[in-house]
Amino acid sequence: MTRRARRLSGGQWIAQYASPTLVIIALLALWEVAASVGWLRPILFPPPSRLARSLYELATDGYPEGVTLWVHFGITMQRILTGYAGALALAVPLGLVIGCVPLLDRLTVPVVAFSRSVATLSLLPLAIVWFGTGEGSKMFLIGYGCFWVMLSNVVAAVQQVDPLLIRAAHSMDTGRLGIFTRVLLPAALPRMFAGARVSLGVGFMVIVGAEMIGTIKGLGALIMEARTFYRNDITMVGMALLGVIGMLIAVMLQRIEAWLLPWQSRERR
């Protein structure tokens, strides 16, 4: 690698990582200063230094007392990943079938459009009636929100495969199974991975409402409990943790996509 190429690589690294980090640091510093000089009311907008102390309090003493951050984190991740995995296990094969059969697509379009338009948390009262206030209602809400997003993306991914690819496979006497495994599925995977990331985001949005009822454990329950007692610092810490966890899982999905679909990563460069 030439010196110029190394300089270019270094510049690309700075643009990709250092610049966003500097922006975040600058915003946190501005927030801290604004709170310290009285531009922001600390009780409403706790400064980052207060949030750091609250994070330590959560990790050691817990909130409510005895329920530490690690307990909240573990239970929330278990709920999200269980509901999310169940939604994907149902949505992916069903979406592939619907996408490959035009008649099924025409029959299910109204159902998918209607179900996806229904706000997931509006089903909370029904979920409690059907499944009680335990884990069943939470799994249902997370799974419901993730399922319809993933299903519609899988169907769209199959339908957007270039017909020329399929005709070319037919011209080489490729059977239906071969067309599906060697042409249709690889071509649809990038859109399916994008749908998986969007679906995961829905799961993180739903979890706060799903953990409102019948539990004091979980990051969503932590946020609601802190809000009740005007602990805005802990509320913000819980929100930030959900955002960070969701971002890290989304990055992990991108890494898996890049590993499984190396040609797609090269096309984006």
How far is residue 242's CA from residue 260's CA, in Å, rounded to a whole number? Answer: 27
How far is residue 76's CA from residue 67's CA, in Å, rounded to a whole number? Answer: 13
- Can you read off the two tokens belonging to residue 57? 């309090």
How far is residue 223's CA from residue 230's CA, in Å, rounded to a whole number? Answer: 10
Each residue's pLDDT, cut to its tens digit, for the chain (269 residues) gives: 445 444 545 556 555 556 777 888 889 899 999 988 888 888 888 999 999 999 999 998 888 878 899 999 999 999 999 999 999 999 999 999 999 898 999 999 999 999 988 989 899 999 999 998 889 999 999 999 999 999 999 999 999 988 888 888 878 877 888 888 888 888 899 899 989 999 998 998 899 888 888 888 999 889 988 888 889 999 999 999 988 888 888 888 888 888 887 766 555 55
What DSSP character marks residue 156?
H
Q: How far is CA 124 from CA 86, 192, 262, in A?
A: 19, 28, 41
pTM over the 0.85 mark = no
